[in-house]
Structure 1
């Protein structure tokens, strides 16, 4: 018996934040990427972001959430970046899912693709949108469903896979502030200088626009000449992102130093003025499989691999 294709409903932004966040809070850490992405300060009214779920909005406290649902966020105007984050509680079940569960998840994703392709937002920046839907932080169970529903049309045009590390931030909030003296002589900590953003852009495998980086929390290590040697950011979905050390400076513990400082500040609410309160108690990081240096940093932060995530593009015209 085929699963009934669920229907997606648009939710007004302020109502979505009031209703979605408590629902997602029940499923940490799996829901952490979407929980944070919903609250990103980048979600300005002028961007016409999409807040949607497979249950309709309801006034007051009358919201009725089914046992199985999908909540999604999309900013389709981000043509060169990840656009879509989604959560379904089935991803919290033991993997692999049963055939019934996998089919249910697949039906939700089929509906999500059709829903997003049918949306018309003429006043959004960059309209008309590209037919390519760019999904981020896709849990391995969702990836399996995406592969199944696109197999006949070969409509996944790009996919990269990562180990998704989950790091609890409460132990870091009480960690003592590291002193500059723990850096190599002549090196200093700083926010990433705007005029040096080009090197960040050129070394990041997950592409983001300069305008995105400029409003993200960051920590950089500057060498004696004031040039970047290492850096890291809190991503648009609250992740530890773009952690990088230039080849000539590796082996000195700079990546761990940057990451620890970023997460310590986040956990203490020091980025709240930028719109990143760090209130979920978790940070996630997508690390390329086999990247031993980054894996060592994650372990130093108290992180563990929780699942395999993917970033994938679905060509809506071929779906």
Structure 2
């Protein structure tokens, strides 16, 4: 008898008993569950990190029906997806499945992985129709193997049913153990240079700052979301912002940028270490931080490597057109 797939649709914030259990269960699958765990932690701990339309989808695959409160980390696979369709055009779904664990993300994951994600997608499609949202939905930090497994199923006439995508942006997940960060050495290396240039530390604030940040990235960002995130900036004496970074909604080092004339001095590394040391503990004390770096972004890859980071797996931001998803199970 094939495993039974059960999808539970849970409101955000989670009740305390469910929250404790689910956060503990996801923590047992670090670092692979990092993005969903951090997204959920941000929503649970900060009202600014959630909206009334947010959901947590909890998907179990078992021979008998289980509930969230009695599922365990051992044995059966499960998936979790943080869903907030109101975040369009930013990331609307952060999915994770236990079938990702240990997989490099460069080849299709095993078939059960596709079943879990397809169950998530069908429920997301239902939510979109109920909320009157568009059916082109952005899945973020999507494990490469999971993405390929679903598209392979769709391309071969399986459960994906000819599923189509309209956008893909491929990244690598760089893992940055907090205890290995070069602190305070990274900041010491730029202190004298920053003093000579009249630079100082600050935060990203206001519409003008946000417009500058948005103009420097290819990833969809909104001013409203940026203003809810922990940030750090470097400014000249006249207030001009020349570098910045954020902790993303999924607890990753995000939108790290240094303006061209100020590169090559170690400022990106110092900025990255500083914001992670100061703001990551607000998400968790488990010691795992991460960054999603575009496969062609050699400069950011170099910064991550200089901080003791290493590549965990390949992932992507992919917009799936869920009106092309079949109803087959």
Task: Confirm or deny that 1:117 pairs with 2:130.
Answer: no
For structure 1, the 5+ residue unaligned runs are 270-275
Specify the alignment match of 2:249 in structure 1.
236
Contact 2:38 2:283 in 1 (8 A): no
More strand by share: 2
Superposition misfits of 4+ residues, deviation over 6 angstroms: 96-99
Shift of 1:19: 2.0
Give the Cα separation in 1 of the matches to 2:217 and 2:27: 30
Shift of 1:173: 9.1
Give the Cα separation in 2 of the matches to 1:249 and 1:182: 11
Specify the alignment match of 1:75 in structure 2.
84
Contact 1:167 1:284 in 2 (8 A): yes
Specify the alignment match of 2:167 in structure 1.
158
Shift of 1:74: 0.4
Residue among 56, 74, 87 paired with 2:96: 87
For structure 2, the 5+ residue unaligned runs are 61-65
Task: Confirm or deny that 1:148 pairs with 2:152.
Answer: yes
Give the Cα separation in 2 of the matches to 1:173 and 1:148: 42
Task: Confirm or deny that 1:281 pairs with 2:287.
Answer: yes
Structure 1 length as normaliser, TM-score? 0.86
Label 1:109 to 1:165 Cα distance change in 2 as closer, same or farther (>3 A). Answer: same
Specify the alignment match of 2:7 in structure 1.
8
Label 1:117 to 1:5 Cα distance change in 2 as closer, same or farther (>3 A). Answer: farther
Give the Cα separation in 2 of the matches to 1:113 and 1:259: 34
Residue among 52, 57, 62 paired with 2:57: 52
Shift of 1:162: 0.8
Give the Cα separation in 1 of the matches to 2:263 and 2:83: 37
Structure 2 length as normaliser, TM-score? 0.83
SS at match of 2:323: coil
**Equivalenced residues, count:** 303
Give the Cα separation in 1 of the matches to 2:107 and 2:298: 33
Task: Confirm or deny that 1:259 pairs with 2:258.
Answer: no
Give the Cα separation in 2 of the matches to 1:37 and 1:132: 21
Specify the alignment match of 1:273 in structure 2.
none
More helix by share: 2
Task: Confirm or deny that 1:139 pairs with 2:143.
Answer: yes
- Most deviating of 86-95 and 145-154: 145-154
Give the Cα separation in 2 of the matches to 1:154 and 1:73: 21
Task: Confirm or deny that 1:305 pairs with 2:311.
Answer: yes
Label 1:10 to 1:192 Cα distance change in 2 as closer, same or farther (>3 A). Answer: same
Task: Confirm or deny that 1:191 pairs with 2:203.
Answer: yes
